[in-house]
Amino acid sequence: MKKSKMTIKDILSINGMGVMIAFIVLCIALAISTDSFLTAGNIMVVLRQSVWVGIISIGMTFIIATGEIDLSIGSVIGFTGMCCAAMMKNYSMNIYLAMVLTLLIGAVIGFLNAVLVSKLKIASFIATLATMQIFRGLIYVYTQGVPIFGLNYPEFQFIAQGYVGFLPVPIIIVIILTIIFWYVMYRTKYGRNVLTIGSNIDAAKLVGINVGRIKTSVYIIMGVLGAIAGMLLTARSEAAVVEAGSGYETDAIAAVVIAGTSMAGGNANLLGCLLGAVLMTTIRNGLNILKVDSSWHQVVIGIVIVLALIFDKFAHQDKE
Amino acid sequence: MSERIPVIEVKGIKKGFYGVPVLKGIDMKLYEGECISLIGENGAGKSTLIKILCGVYTKDEGDIFLYGEKQNITSAEDGKKLGISVIYQELSLFPDMRVYENMFTNSELHKTKKDGFLKPLDIKAMKEKSKEILHDKLNVDIDVNAKVKDIPFSQRQMVEIGRAVLADSKIIFMDEPTTALEDKEKKTLFRIIKDLKAQNKTIIFISHHLDEIFENCERTIVLRDGYAVLEKETANLTQQELVKAMIGKNVDNYYPKVAYQPGEKILSVNNLSSGKVFQNISFDVHKKEVVGIIGLAGCGKYEIVRALFGAHAYDSGEIIKDGKKIKNRTINEAINNKFAFIPAERKTESIFPNREVSWNTTIAGIDHINTKKGLSLSKEKEITADYIENLKIKVTNQKQPIASLSGGNQQKVILARWFLTDPDILILEEPTRGIDVNAKTEVYNLIMEYLAQDKGVILVSSEEEEILGICDRIVVIHNGKTTGIINRSDIDIEGLKTITKFGKAADQGGM
């Protein structure tokens, strides 16, 4: 048989093509309409601001791939960021020890979510909605609403503000995490198991996959990534504020979904979700440059998400 | 006969999808009060034809007449209005709603004359009417207040038929209605079909089971490749003729049984028990032997084999493989002990629907493609290509999602999945459920070929023909207990049916 060439339609129907096109169109539009968008400085700003949502959207891709969800991650960012700040400031702990402990706290929180979801069989939407409240609440309880200020520790500031060569450290961190988790998702038995569970959980059990253990591990990964994002956020602002990370969970879910990953589980577009995260920051950045009132930012982001999804829907229609 | 006006007549119906013709000009006439069987292999166009008649698809060409009047059916709503109902294989009931609510879905009765979204519902009247139809017209005992998820599958089907009766449908399609039914339940269904015929309804009965067709249908229409290739009074039809019309060639035997000389004992199951589900189950499996397990629904036959595979708990008893005692408490343990298990529900328990054929092939034996550098996609491609060729799996591309394959080809992928793990004991539940005659024979052939490599097979089925056609020895389970282990040469189909149903042979006193 003759090998058929890829048509434009085939290209358009690649998962996440919607977000790609939205991104390119947006960049061209902003580059034409503003002088400051397409400058090295501004691009770096956009990328830096994408870091936090980008990191947790990696974890969210894993969670959604198994068919679950994690709404608590925004609170986890705030909580772990606060823990890290408190250990350094209030307990004068060694910076590196504090950072390692923070990662550990993230892992424990992830494990907690996993216990609710895979041991106690509570629907993940509800379980993580509850833990979202709990951890946000604990931030208020500990800080009494007063931010932890003045984290002037050079080693700590370095992870968010430092450079290696011309590359900012947080972007290097994202790149490393992306490479690691891309490999884990697409080139390991573990990644296969994650997606297999999402595709058909009953069949997954019958091919010998330990569903409980895989789900637990995915939530632990998510918790650790949340802690990394939490520390980067705290180190960036040199303070732990009570609302830190609030709303990031929905941004991450949106980033995953506009990349063409189905909420039903069983597939994943890891690179696409990072692009999704950058897209959302780009919109905010563009609106800022265009001096659009910040109240409108949410509206515009919502509309762009809807447009990207409608595009994907149309591009995939013929494949049914 | 020719005097009668047909209830429905179709002339020259054509339909294609994306330029591929599926129906190439179908003519047929259906009369009041008759049951017609519509048969054909998967892909012959049966479901497309039904969907056109009930308005889900729109025909490309041709005419549809109801009582001699030309109709234009363009939506499911139209079909419903004209009195055409379909009882699908996968029932379209709402499990969390009650029986009477399901009967009246979207045609609720209201206390006021006018109906409307906000008018109060007349629950009492709906319950009464549901009772009238289910109890009096269909003569089945179903609690109309029960939630659908709490009643057995056979009753759900009755509810769906009741819904068609309630809507006063003239024409009722039944798409493989007996697939999940026990003999007794089938009898009830057949009685209802008879009753409906007496009420001048027209039934179109779709089934893979030829004996059911002979029992119920006056006429048979065979579809093949988009044409109606045979139309005949069922009474004048032979089974061979039917099968030949379906697949377009002669088939002498669809059970390609090879009776090998059984080798040494490979597995012993001794007194395996699991609470009330099954007790003291004992049997052996030898190399090159197929052991069949048969019994009525709920007898515990599936749970027994699932216990062997670590997918169902057992309290006592022992499993001995190759002379060594093993436990198989978890599925992983069973796989490591070289067991493989192919469940009955292909859709919900076997396939990973959105994933590729290659993915579905390698998932159980994934260590075969695992290297130090991670999963080797090229190895995966190689392995999958081999299986596609050797098992003659029809695919356009090994990256296509498995859900896009036909049932028979899906099952072959599942066989490939477990062949890759090279199991010593292959356990199969209803391996040919819902796949067509040709594919059935191919699946049996693959099992036979596998057996030749000194393997053992345990086959659970609720079809006596299949058990007798393919197994060397047969374990009959009744109410969780073994009632007999029979050599295939020592029993005929009638004998096997009797012992399956009653738990003992007929000459020992029947019921």
Reported ipTM = 0.86
Question: How is residue B300 written in tokens?
Answer: 């515990």
Q: Which of B311, B352, B363 sits opposite A266 (nearest CB)?
A: B352
What band does A27 get if pLDDT is binned at 50, 70 and 90? confident
Determine what percent of chain A is predicted with pLDDT higher than 90.
62
- B397 CB near a chain A CB, below 8 Å? no
DSSP assignment of chain A equals: -PPPPPPHHHHHTSTTHHHHHHHHHHHHHHHHH-SSTTSHHHHHHHHHHHHHHHHHHHHHHHHHHTT---STHHHHHHHHHHHHHHHHHTS---HHHHHHHHHHHHHHHHHHHHIIIIIS---HHHHHHHHHHHHHHHHHHHHTT--B-----HHHHHHHH-EETTEEHHHHHHHHHHHHHHHHHHHSHHHHHHHHHHH-HHHHHHTT--HHHHHHHHHHHHHHHHHHHHHHHHHHHTSB-TTTTTTHHHHHHHHHHHTT--TTSS---HHHHHHHHHHHHHHHHHHHHTT--THHHHHHHHHHHHHHHHHHHHHHHTT-
**Number of neighbours of residue B503 by Cβ within 10 angstroms:** 19
Q: What is the pLDDT of residues A182-194, one digit of tens each?
A: 999 999 999 999 9
Largest separation between any pair of C-alpha atoms in chain B? 77
Nearest CA in chain A to B353: A199
Residue where the block lists tokens 């363009």:
B74
pLDDT of residue B313: 95
Whether B351 sits inside 8 A of A205 (CB atoms) is: no
pLDDT of residue A318: 46
Q: Which of B341, B348, B364 sits opposite A202 (nearest CB)?
A: B348
- B343 CB near a chain A CB, below 8 Å? yes
Question: How is residue B274 written in tokens?
Answer: 């699991």
In sequence order, the β-bridge partners of residue A148 are: A240
pLDDT of residue A8: 67
Mean pLDDT for A257-273 is: 86
- B379 CB near a chain A CB, below 8 Å? no
Residues of A with CB under 8 A from a CB of B: 183, 186-189, 192, 195-196, 199-200, 202-208, 210, 262, 266-267
Whether B436 and B39 have beta carbons less than 8 Å apart is answered as: no
Nearest CA in chain A to B417: A207
3-class DSSP assignment, residue B370: strand
Question: Best interface-test mutation with A: which of B357, B358, B363 has the largest number of A CBs within 10 A?
Answer: B363
Distance from CA of B331 to the nearest CA of A (A): 5
CB pairs under 8 A between A and B: 64
Burial class (CB in 10 A: 0-12, 13-18, 19+), B397: exposed
Cα torsion angle, A53, A56, A59, A64, sign: negative
A251-278 b/e (C-beta count within 10 Å ≥ 16 → b): bbbbbbbbbbbbeebbbbbbebbbbbbb
What fold, for A49-308? ABC transporter involved in vitamin B12 uptake, BtuC (1.10.3470)
Tell me which chain B residues have a C-beta less than 8 angstroms from the C-beta of A320: none
Q: Which are the contacts of B146, defined by CB distance < 8 A and separation ≥ 6?
A: B98, B99
Q: What is the pLDDT of residues A66-96, one digit of tens each?
A: 999 999 999 999 999 999 999 999 999 999 9
- Picking from B420, B474, B428, B411, the residue whose alpha carbon sits closest to that of residue B306 is B428
- Picking from B255, B247, B205, the residue whose alpha carbon sits closest to that of residue B41 is B247
* Distance of alpha carbon B196 from alpha carbon B7, whole angstroms: 15
Distance from CA of B374 to the nearest CA of A (A): 5
Nearest CA in chain A to B328: A208
Tell me which chain A residues have a C-beta less than 8 angstroms from the C-beta of B331: 205-208
Q: Which of B331, B352, B375 sits opposite A205 (nearest CB)?
A: B331
Whether A196 sits inside 8 A of B355 (CB atoms) is: yes
Tell me which chain A residues have a C-beta less than 8 angstroms from the C-beta of B363: 192, 196, 207
Distance from CA of B45 to the nearest CA of A (A): 18
In order of B140, B185, B207, B342, the CA distances from B192 in angstroms are 9, 11, 16, 34
Whether B174 and B124 have beta carbons less than 8 Å apart is answered as: no
Whether A203 sits inside 8 A of B331 (CB atoms) is: no
Whether A207 sits inside 8 A of B311 (CB atoms) is: no
Tell me which chain A residues have a C-beta less than 8 angstroms from the C-beta of B341: 206
Question: Is the model's pLDDT at A142 over the cut of 50?
Answer: yes
In order of B352, B363, B385, the CA distances from B396 in angstroms are 18, 20, 12
**Number of neighbours of residue A119 by Cβ within 10 angstroms:** 11
In order of B181, B243, B284, B295, B362, the CA distances from B449 in angstroms are 31, 24, 21, 26, 20
Burial class (CB in 10 A: 0-12, 13-18, 19+), A286: buried
Nearest CA in chain A to B344: A203
Q: Which are the contacts of B314, defined by CB distance < 8 A and separation ≥ 6?
A: B272, B273, B274, B307
**Number of neighbours of residue A175 by Cβ within 10 angstroms:** 12
pLDDT of residue B57: 87
* Distance of alpha carbon B4 from alpha carbon B27, whole angstroms: 17
- B353 CB near a chain A CB, below 8 Å? yes
* Distance of alpha carbon B304 from alpha carbon B283, whole angstroms: 11
* Distance of alpha carbon B434 from alpha carbon A235, whole angstroms: 60
Burial class (CB in 10 A: 0-12, 13-18, 19+), A220: buried
Q: Which of A183, A202, A208 sits opposite B364 (nearest CB)?
A: A208
pLDDT of residue A262: 80
- B313 CB near a chain A CB, below 8 Å? no
- Picking from B252, B298, B293, B308, the residue whose alpha carbon sits closest to that of residue B277 is B298
Question: Is the model's pLDDT at A202 over the cut of 90?
Answer: yes
Q: Which of B334, B352, B366 sits opposite A203 (nearest CB)?
A: B352
* Distance of alpha carbon B22 from alpha carbon B51, whole angstroms: 12
* Distance of alpha carbon B86 from alpha carbon A265, whole angstroms: 32
Question: How is residue B125 written in tokens?
Answer: 């009247």
Residue where the block lists tokens 């001048």:
B200
Q: Within 13 A of A132's CA, how many CA atoms are on the CB side?
A: 19
* Distance of alpha carbon A301 from alpha carbon A110, whole angstroms: 29
Question: Is the model's pLDDT at A176 over the cut of 50?
Answer: yes
* Distance of alpha carbon B466 from alpha carbon B430, whole angstroms: 9
Report mean pLDDT in 10-residue bins for chain B, 511 residues: 76 82 87 90 81 87 89 83 82 88 84 75 90 86 90 86 86 85 83 89 86 88 87 85 75 73 93 94 95 90 96 95 94 96 93 94 94 93 95 90 89 96 96 84 93 95 88 93 90 85 60 38
Question: Best interface-test mutation with B: which of A184, A196, A200, A207 has the largest number of B CBs within 10 A?
Answer: A207
Whether A206 sits inside 8 A of B341 (CB atoms) is: yes
Domain ranges across chain A = 49-308
**Helix and strand counts by DSSP (H, E) for chain B:** 16, 22
Least confidently predicted of A113-117, A315-319, B178-182, B269-273: A315-319
- B403 CB near a chain A CB, below 8 Å? no
* Distance of alpha carbon A31 from alpha carbon A51, whole angstroms: 22
Distance from CA of A252 to the nearest CA of B (A): 23
Least confidently predicted of A25-34, A55-64, A245-254, B367-376: A25-34
Distance from CA of A26 to the nearest CA of B (A): 32
pLDDT of residue B251: 53
Tell me which chain B residues have a C-beta less than 8 angstroms from the C-beta of A188: 374-375
**Residues present in chain B in total:** 511
Whether A269 and A275 have beta carbons less than 8 Å apart is answered as: no
DSSP 8-state class, residue B480: T
Distance from CA of B348 to the nearest CA of A (A): 7
- Picking from B347, B342, B343, the residue whose alpha carbon sits closest to that of residue B418 is B342
- B335 CB near a chain A CB, below 8 Å? yes
* Residue B170: alpha-carbon gap to chain centroid: 26
List, as own/partner pairs, every contact residues B239-245 make where C-beta atoms lie below 8 angstroms and the sequence separation is at least 24, other chains included.
Answer: B239/B210, B239/B214, B242/B39, B242/B210, B242/B213, B243/B210, B243/B437
Question: How is residue B420 written in tokens?
Answer: 């890759």
B67-99 b/e (C-beta count within 10 Å ≥ 16 → b): eeeebebeeeeebbebbbbbbeeebebeeeebb
Q: Which of B351, B370, B417 sits opposite A200 (nearest CB)?
A: B351
Strands B227-233 and B219-224, sheet pairing:
antiparallel
**Residues present in chain A in total:** 320
Whether B354 sits inside 8 A of A266 (CB atoms) is: yes
Whether A199 sits inside 8 A of B354 (CB atoms) is: yes
Query: Which helix (H) or strand (E) covers residue B148, if one does?
Result: none
Whether A208 sits inside 8 A of B335 (CB atoms) is: yes
pLDDT of residue A9: 64
